């Protein structure tokens, strides 16, 4: 029976003993095992758990969007009020999708059609599910863009997805999902890729829309700060099962399952390390001091990246401001610079520029060697010393290569070890990032987003570089795996003397990792200094805004701001 919340008879959505099987060459394998819950009108249920726990499969089962060749509902029932969704015809289910149940997917860029304008996609949803025609459709679409606080709706209707920022694309997805006023909204990691200020705006918007339309929400997330801020009730999933469920205060203050306690213990909390300038160490020994006169591992002086400087047909207009303007910083051996800021502030462009991946002017020196004008052959030893972990793990991995081959590739390029030694190194690296050695024979599409990011981290570590540029490297990871990966990065910093340029929108993670912090806005560094000074006593109003927007993993405190 559904979770005993006393709401089943009035539930807008009931999941009753749902089981889902994965279809493999070896036979059916159970991935969702006998889960139940009920969702009341106007209620927010947060489903939390690690990557691969079954959260997204549960949502896809409700929407009946499981890929038929690989997953199937093996048992149980899903009821929208008193209507059994698994028993509906596909035509009837199409009317339910978008009309009565809507879904916001994790990555809006892959959910929106790149060849159709924003207006065309919004109006299609309204025509399909509301039967409206003519000017009323356009008016309702513009009104929904206004509701989700997108400025100049008439102009945005004519634009295409690639012309909007990540936060704006996610707002479009929310507008599309709510345009037909569904009874249930499924939101699968809707804020994972967003910076803290945009995330705060999206969460506030979802609360306001819930109050206005009475929509019930299932919010899937691995961010326990978001859970504390949004949830009425919480269901914690692991290995396809609900291991604990209950009111949000009970889950945070009186967790019963060991796994729930582990999740909560792994949550980084901003301010937890405010008393010291150095990040916490993994070993008991103190970090060695940076020798006087030591050469920076990375020295950046007056860096400028101006995409508009090119006259290419596909470049930005020359009148637009440079993406990065007059940026300077040093990173010393064994230290970490945390680079924070909103989407579009220039963080990722800075990370690419310092590795020579985009054209730039100014000076970039890695290990005492200036990289301007170096040939591909001359850059090879530099690339061994400096590696990058990109934000999008799926785009970073060749879908035709096994993950073992992808991790071993840099070792082969630099002629390191024999084939058997490389296999052993791959197995060791997979283990260090929380994956099994036999995962080496699988392909990227067989892993979750969080697991793919672990693979990219393992590949970056293969050459034991002196500098790693980590661009949102743990954003897609659940809290427990994130904690293990951050511990691993700190351990490697101690044992190998690694330096990091750590790019992130997660202020608590930046505090966990960084010796120094630089805050970027509109392509410039607006504040920089030791971690404690920047995060505990910021001088800039913008830095204070970033810190204030961080979700607090405490429902009592979060409720004060709702």
DSSP string covering 334-398? T-EEEEE--TTSSHHHHHHHHTTSS--EEEEEETTEE-TT--HHHHHHHHHHEEEE-S-HHHHS-
Q: What is the pLDDT of residue 166?
A: 67
Q: What is the DSSP letter of 97?
A: B
pLDDT, one tens digit per residue, over 34-92 is 999 999 999 999 999 887 788 989 999 999 999 888 899 999 999 999 899 999 998 89
CA distance 164 to 162: 6
Instruction: Name the residue range of residue 531's domain.
Output: 298-560
In a domain, 355, yes or no: yes
Q: What is the pLDDT of residue 525?
A: 96
In a domain, 227, yes or no: no
Average pLDDT for residues 356-374, to the nearest whole number?
90
State the pTM of this model: 0.75
In a domain, 391, yes or no: yes
* Average pLDDT score over the chain: 84
In a domain, 80, yes or no: no
Average pLDDT for residues 519-529, to the nearest whole number?
93
CATH number at residue 551: 3.40.50.300
Average pLDDT for residues 449-455, to the nearest whole number?
80
In a domain, 190, yes or no: no
CA distance 402 to 444: 7
For residues 194 and 21, which has the higher predicted lDDT (pLDDT)? 21
Average pLDDT for residues 516-529, to the nearest whole number?
93
In the predicted structure, residue 278 carries a pLDDT above the cut 70: no
Question: And the tokens for 465?
Answer: 């570089």
Q: 510 and 367 in one domain? A: yes
For residues 317 and 559, which has the higher predicted lDDT (pLDDT)? 559
pLDDT, one tens digit per residue, over 393-413 is 777 889 899 999 999 999 998
Domain end among 128, 151, 180: 180
Q: 541 and 401 in one domain? A: yes
User: CB-based burial of residue 536 (10 Å sphere; 0-12 exposed, 13-18 middle, 19+ buried)?
Assistant: middle
Domain end among 180, 202, 220: 180
Task: State the total domains in the chain.
Answer: 2
pLDDT, one tens digit per residue, over 332-347 is 999 999 999 887 788 9
pLDDT, one tens digit per residue, over 223-258 is 888 898 899 999 999 999 999 999 999 999 999 999
Beta bridge partners of 236: 48, 244
Other C-beta atoms within 10 Å of 77: how many? 15
pLDDT, one tens digit per residue, over 129-153 is 666 676 778 888 888 888 777 888 8
In the predicted structure, residue 4 carries a pLDDT above the cut 50: no
In a domain, 282, yes or no: no
In a domain, 390, yes or no: yes
Average pLDDT for residues 516-524, to the nearest whole number?
93
Question: And the tokens for 290?
Answer: 């940076």
- The answer to whether the beta carbons of residues 486 and 513 sit under 8 Å apart is yes
In a domain, 135, yes or no: yes
In the predicted structure, residue 560 carries a pLDDT above the cut 80: no
Domain end among 145, 180, 215: 180
In the predicted structure, residue 269 carries a pLDDT above the cut 80: no
């Amino acid at each position: 029976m559904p979770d005993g919340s006393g709401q089943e008879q009035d539930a807008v959505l009931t999941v009753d003993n749902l089981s889902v099987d994965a279809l493999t060459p070896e036979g059916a394998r159970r991935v969702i095992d006998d889960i139940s819950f009920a969702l009341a009108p106007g209620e927010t249920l947060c489903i939390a758990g690690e990557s691969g726990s079954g959260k997204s499969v549960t949502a896809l089962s409700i929407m009946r969007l499981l890929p038929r060749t690989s997953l199937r509902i093996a048992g149980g029932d899903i009821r929208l009020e008193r209507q059994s969704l698994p028993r509906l015809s596909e035509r009837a289910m199409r009317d339910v999708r978008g009309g009565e149940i809507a879904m916001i997917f994790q990555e809006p860029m892959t959910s929106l059609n790149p060849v159709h304008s924003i207006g065309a996609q919004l109006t299609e949803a309204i025509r399909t599910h509301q039967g409206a025609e003519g000017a009323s459709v356009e008016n309702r679409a513009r009104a929904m863009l206004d509701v989700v606080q997108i400025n100049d709706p008439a102009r945005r209707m004519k634009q295409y997805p690639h012309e909007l920022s990540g936060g704006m694309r996610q707002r479009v997805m929310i507008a599309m999902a709510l345009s037909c006023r569904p009874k249930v909204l499924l939101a699968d990691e809707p804020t994972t890729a967003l910076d803290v200020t945009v995330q705060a705006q999206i969460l506030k918007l979802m609360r306001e829309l819930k109050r206005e339309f009475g929509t019930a929400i299932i919010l899937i997330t691995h961010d326990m700060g978001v859970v504390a801020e949004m949830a009425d009730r919480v269901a914690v999933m692991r290995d396809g099962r609900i291991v604990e469920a209950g009111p949000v205060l009970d889950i945070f203050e009186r967790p019963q399952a060991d796994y729930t306690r582990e999740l909560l213990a792994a949550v980084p909390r901003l301010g937890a390390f405010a008393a010291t300038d150095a990040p916490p160490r993994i070993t008991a020994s103190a970090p060695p001091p940076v020798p006087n006169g030591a050469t920076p591992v990375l020295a950046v002086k007056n860096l400028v990246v101006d995409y508009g400087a090119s006259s290419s047909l596909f470049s930005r207009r020359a009148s637009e401001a440079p993406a990065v303007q007059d940026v300077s910083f040093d990173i010393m051996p064994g230290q970490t610079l945390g680079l924070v800021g909103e989407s579009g502030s220039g963080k990722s462009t800075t990370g690419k520029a310092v590795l020579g991946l985009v054209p730039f002017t100014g000076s970039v020196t890695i290990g005492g060697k200036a990289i301007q004008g170096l040939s591909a052959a001359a850059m090879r030893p530099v690339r061994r010393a400096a590696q990058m972990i990109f934000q999008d793990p799926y785009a970073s991995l060749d879908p035709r290569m096994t993950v073992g081959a992808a991790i071993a590739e840099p070792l082969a390029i630099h002629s390191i070890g024999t084939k058997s030694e490389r296999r052993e190194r791959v197995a060791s690296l997979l283990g260090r990032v929380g994956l099994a050695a036999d995962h080496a024979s699988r392909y990227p599409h067989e892993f979750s987003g969080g697991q793919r990011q672990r693979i990219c981290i393992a590949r970056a570590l293969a050459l034991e570089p002196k500098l790693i540029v980590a661009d949102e490297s743990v954003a897609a990871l659940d809290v427990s795996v994130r904690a293990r990966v951050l511990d691993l990065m700190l351990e490697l910093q101690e044992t190998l003397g690694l330096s990091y340029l750590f790019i992130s929108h997660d202020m608590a993670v930046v505090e966990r990792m960084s010796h120094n912090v630089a805050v970027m806005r509109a392509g410039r560094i607006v504040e920089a200094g030791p971690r404690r000074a920047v995060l505990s006593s910021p001088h800039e109003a913008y830095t204070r805004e970033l810190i204030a927007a961080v979700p607090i993993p405490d429902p009592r405190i979060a409720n004060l701001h709702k």
